[in-house]
Amino acid sequence: MITLEAYFDYVILPILSISVMLIFIRLLKGPAVVDRVVALDLIITTGIGIITVYAIRSNQAVFLDVAIILALIAFLGTVAFAYYIEKQKDD
């Protein structure tokens, strides 16, 4: 029987790591600025997932606070970028 720790180590973390690499490629290639911002937001979201898995794995709830703060910063950054794009469209 597979333990939860082994599932984190051999399934979830490798999938999250591969997704970060693929998103990073999109961040570098992305033809438009919007694509790059969405990729950056996805990297932050995937990082939040990695932090959460690590918090569960190490049994330290402090990392969940870090993940929540990072999620709030990412949300504010996305809202600020959407506001910037909307202002550019009006001009």
pLDDT reported for residue 91: 67
**pTM, whole model, 2 decimals?**
0.87
Q: Give DSSP secondary structure letters for the chain.
A: ---HHHHIIIIIHHHHHHHHHHHHHHHHH-SSHHHHHHHHHHHHHHHHHHHHHHHHHHT-THHHHHHHHHHHHHHHHHHHHHHHHHHHHH-
Q: What is the mean pLDDT of residues 52-69?
A: 94
What pLDDT was estimated at residue 85? Answer: 86
Residue 17 pLDDT level (bands cut at 50, 70, 90) = very high
Higher pLDDT, residue 86 or 21:
21
pLDDT beyond 80 at 42: yes
